[in-house]
């Protein structure tokens, strides 16, 4: 059975010492540690080395928790994004600096390289995250844009991320982009294009999260099959979307999550419209054996209730692939 972890990004208001016993009691095998809050400190991992990492290992071991991946979505977002005041709220002060956009991008790139080294020091082989995008704002093409605008955007992504990916590869760590609106890749077509512009770099793949694909109308099972050898990590997260017209469409109408006028919203696992059994079958088909990481988000549910329910839901759903054809015995 695949290990079951909880992504700590939505729990960063709790210290890891507070969170670890809770996650153990909820029934998880481990954590996908976010590089914010105090859950995984890249700088301490590199400057304090074994002293910090051994303390972290001891805390996790005390609660029978393991780590298969860390995540640095917030810093990754700034590597090739259009930087503005929104980023100040999510970035470490040393990355934000004076807020000069190009300076922020360069410092974010250096910090992602440091994240690869910190992951390697911790013995973790996958870093999940975002890339940002210089062309997301051009999604709806009016005033009209030329194909060269989009080509230039993908070229900028490649220029900024290839040196980072090279460093990941040198560390024996892989970067898993969470394919997601606002990123350079947000569906199958753009994921293919992102892979191509980095020349199918061995350190570049995907953190599969069906909740960001399904409400767009993207074939999320097809995504698994199309990128079978690039699925480095899996998020288990559900989403609901309306089967009838509503006041706001796929773009969200500038409404907060949880607003009943939205066309779509994240839901606790099993309470949205994702076909998770089809996902498990597809993961078996592509021989994915990594963790299933619950990223729990639901605006109208208590998170402890939701995380416990999500753990039980995935435990009941996951099953290993068959080692033989079910009718093989008939031939003997």
Q: What is the pLDDT of residues 90-133, one digit of tens each?
A: 999 999 999 999 999 999 999 999 999 999 999 999 999 999 99
Domains in the chain: ranges and CATH:
4-331 (3.20.20.150)
- Measure the CA–CA gap between 84 and 99, rounded to whole angstroms: 8
Please give the model's pTM, rounded to 2 decimal places.
0.96
pLDDT > 70? residue 325: no
pLDDT score recorded for residue 326: 62
Mean pLDDT across 159-180: 98
Mean pLDDT across 5-16: 98
Mean pLDDT across 253-259: 96
pLDDT > 80? residue 329: no
Calculate the average pLDDT of the chain.
96
What is the band of 304 on the pLDDT scale with cuts at 50, 70, 90?
very high
Mean pLDDT across 301-315: 98
What is the band of 330 on the pLDDT scale with cuts at 50, 70, 90?
low
The CB-based long-range contact list for 36-44 (8 Å cut-off, 24+ gap) reads 36/9, 36/12, 36/74, 36/92, 37/8, 37/11, 37/12, 37/13, 39/8, 39/12, 40/70, 40/118, 40/122, 42/72, 42/111, 42/114, 42/115, 42/118, 43/114
pLDDT digits (tens, 9 = 90+) for 20-38: 999 999 999 999 999 999 9
pLDDT digits (tens, 9 = 90+) for 183-225: 999 999 999 999 999 999 999 999 999 999 999 999 999 999 9
pLDDT > 90? residue 324: no
pLDDT score recorded for residue 322: 82
pLDDT digits (tens, 9 = 90+) for 124-153: 999 999 999 999 999 998 899 999 999 999
- Exposed, middle or buried, 176 (CB in 10 Å: 0-12/13-18/19+)? buried
Q: How many residues does the chain have?
A: 332
- Measure the CA–CA gap between 179 and 209, rounded to whole angstroms: 7
């Amino acid at each position: 059975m695949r290990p079951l972890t909880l992504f700590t990004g939505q729990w960063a208001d709790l210290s890891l010492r507070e969170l670890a016993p809770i996650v153990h009691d909820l029934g998880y095998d481990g954590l996908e540690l976010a590089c914010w809050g105090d859950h995984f400190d890249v700088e301490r991992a590199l400057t304090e080395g074994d002293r910090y990492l051994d303390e972290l290992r001891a805390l996790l071991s005390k609660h029978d928790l393991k780590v298969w991946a860390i995540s640095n979505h917030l810093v990754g977002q700034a590597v090739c994004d259009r930087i503005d005041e929104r980023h100040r709220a999510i970035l470490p002060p040393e990355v934000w600096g004076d807020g000069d956009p190009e300076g922020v991008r360069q410092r974010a790139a250096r910090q992602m390289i440091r994240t690869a080294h910190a992951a390697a020091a911790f013995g973790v082989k996958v870093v999940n995250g975002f890339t940002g995008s210089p062309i997301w704002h051009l999604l709806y093409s009016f005033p009209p844009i030329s194909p060269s605008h989009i080509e230039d955007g993908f070229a900028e992504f490649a220029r900024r991320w290839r040196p980072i990916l090279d460093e990941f590869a040198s560390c024996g760590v892989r970067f898993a982009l969470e394919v997601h609106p606002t990123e350079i890749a947000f569906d199958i077509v753009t994921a293919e294009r992102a892979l191509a512009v980095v020349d199918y770099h061995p350190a570049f793949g995907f953190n599969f999260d069906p909740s960001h694909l399904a409400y767009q109308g993207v074939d999320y099972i097809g995504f698994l099959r199309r990128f079978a050898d690039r699925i480095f990590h899996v998020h288990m997260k559900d989403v609901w979307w309306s089967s009838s017209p509503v006041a706001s469409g796929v773009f969200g109408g500038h409404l907060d999550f949880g607003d009943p006028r939205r066309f779509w919203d994240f839901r606790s696992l099993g309470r949205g419209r994702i076909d998770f059994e089809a996902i498990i079958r597809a993961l078996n088909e592509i021989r994915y054996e990594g963790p299933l990481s619950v990223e729990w988000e639901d605006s109208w549910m208590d998170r402890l209730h939701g995380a416990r329910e999500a753990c039980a839901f995935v435990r009941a759903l996951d099953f290993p692939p068959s080692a033989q054809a079910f009718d093989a015995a008939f031939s003997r």
